[in-house]
Amino acid sequence: MLDIQGLSVAYGPVKALQDVSFEVPTGTITAVLGANGAGKTTLLRTVSGLMRPQAGRVTLDGTDITRMAPEKMSRLGMAHVPEGRGVITELTVEENLRLGELGRARNGDPVAIERMWEMFPKLGDRRAALAGSLSGGERQMLVIGRSLMATPKVLLLDEPSLGLAPRIVAQIFDLVRTLVDEQGLSVLLVEQNARSALSIADLGVVLNLGRVVTTQEAGALAADEDLRHAYLGF
């Protein structure tokens, strides 16, 4: 579904990614793991067009999207939930969702906003409230719901567990797994919380100082004690 080949990105002299290659197969979760500063956020920002790579190629379903502007990607079925502040806090919950719908993929069927209220009853209760008044977990639900409104084929998630209680993290990861299993979504999940991420992922990519250390099946990766100790911290 999403194919990343030889991607290199730099901030001026700082090389953030070097020759990164891997694939996100259709209907799977690929987890990219690594410590602070490994280049995970940079990777997602480059894939979704917010940054330009020095070298390399990104293709979505066979279409070259390497230097495409980010605003064009949602129509092709790419949704990116950025790190931290993904909700637009000054808009209401419902307005955030409507924005998602405005960027709906070209061949996606409209998703009724009512479906979201069913999926996330808490959001339904607060549909007219400003998104800035939601709790961290609710915000994460909102951004995921918002990307679903755009009927994506590929979902990029940047540290959805950041700052959330373990119970909420489990809920969100369950939701992501269900979406993949039931709707055939492909997910590129970036996480520091490697243990939880590997528990739902199909594939794991370990990133260290901007380079891919290894790409393996999630189960195998979780079982490799040396790798875990060296790069994943558990």
Partner 1 sequence: MRKALDTVRGNVLLKHSLIALLAAALVLLVMESVSPFRQGQLAMMAYYAIAAGGLTVLTGLSGQLSLGHGAFMAIGAYTTALLLQEREGALPMIVIILIAALVATVVGAIVGVAAARLHGPYIAGATLALAVAVPGIALHFSSVFGGEQGLNVKVPEVPRLADDALYFLTGTETSTSEWVAYSAWFLLIIVYFLLANLSASRIGRRWRAVRDDEVAASLAGIDLGRDRVVAFVVSAACAGVAGALLALASRLAAPGSFSLVLSLTLLSAVVLGGLGSLLGALLGSGLLALLPNLATSIGSSMGLSDVKAAELSPLVIGLTTMLVILLAPAGVVGSVRQLLAGRGPRATTAAAGTPGAGADTPTVAEPRG
Partner 2 sequence: MQQLITTLLNGLTMGMVYAAFALALVLIWRSTRIVNFAQAPMAMVTTYIAMVLIEGGLNYWLAFILALLSGFVLGAFVERVIVRPVEGKSDINAVILTLGLFIVLHALAALVFGSDYKSFPAPFGVRGITVGGHSLAITPFGIFTIVAVIVVMLLLLLLFQKTDVGLQMRASAFNPEVARLLGVKVSSMLTLGWALAALVGSLSGLLIAGGNLVHPGYMDSVVVFGFVAAVLGGLDSPLGAVVGGLIMGIALSLVSGYLGSGLVSLAALLILVAVLLVKPGGLFSHASERKV
Ligand X SMILES: Nc1ncnc2c1ncn2[C@@H]1O[C@H](COP(=O)(O)OP(=O)(O)OP(=O)(O)O)[C@@H](O)[C@H]1O
Largest CA distance in the chain: 50
Position among 19, 52, 89, 184 found at the interface with partner 1 (CB under 8 A)? 52
Q: How far is the CB of 135 from partner 1 (least distance, A)?
A: 29
Is 99 or 213 the residue whose CB approaches partner 2 more closely? 99
Residue 82, both tokens = 């950025």
- Least distance from partner 1 to the Cβ atom of residue 134, Å: 26
What is the C-alpha to C-alpha distance for residues 193 and 233, in angstroms, rounded to an integer? Answer: 9
Task: Return the number of the residue (51 or 218) whose C-beta is nearest partner 1.
Answer: 51
Cβ neighbours of residue 96 under 8 Å, at least 6 residues apart?
87, 88, 131, 142, 143, 146
Residue 52: burial class (beta carbons within 10 Å; 0-12, 13-18, 19+): exposed
Choose between 42 and 74: whose C-beta lies nearer to Mg ion.
Answer: 42
Binders in 128-157 for partner 2, by CB under 8 A: 146, 150
- By CB under 8 A, residue 11 contacts partner 1: yes
- Give the closest residue to 168 by CA, choosing from 147, 146, 134, 140: 140
134 binds ligand X (CB under 6 A): no
How many whole angstroms separate alpha carbon 190 and alpha carbon 93? 25
Q: What is the footprint of Mg ion within residues 62-91 (CB under 5 A)?
A: 83
**Beta carbon of residue 231, minimum distance to ligand X (angstroms, whole number):** 12
If one asks whether residue 46 binds Mg ion (CB under 5 A), the answer comes out as: no
Q: In what order do the strands lie in the sheet with 78-81?
A: 78-81, 154-158, 186-191, 29-33, 203-208, 211-217
The position carrying tokens 């990133």 is 207
User: Minimal CA–CA distance to 100: which of 134, 68, 125, 77?
Assistant: 77
Of the two residues 22 and 117, which places its CB atom closer to ligand X in the complex?
22
Residue 161 makes contact with Mg ion by CB under 5 A: no
Residue 24's identity, in one-letter code, is: V
Q: Is residue 80 a contact residue for ligand X (CB under 6 A)?
A: no
41 part of the interface to Mg ion, by CB under 5 A: yes
Q: Is residue 68 part of the contact set for partner 2 (CB under 8 A)? A: no
- Using CB under 6 A as the criterion, which residues of the chain lie in contact with ligand X when the complex forms? 11, 14, 16, 34, 36-42, 192
- Using CB under 8 A as the criterion, which residues of the chain lie in contact with partner 2 when the complex forms? 48, 50, 69-75, 79-80, 82, 85-91, 95, 98-100, 102-103, 146, 150
- Using CB under 8 A as the criterion, which residues of the chain lie in contact with partner 1 when the complex forms? 9, 11-12, 45, 50-52, 69, 71
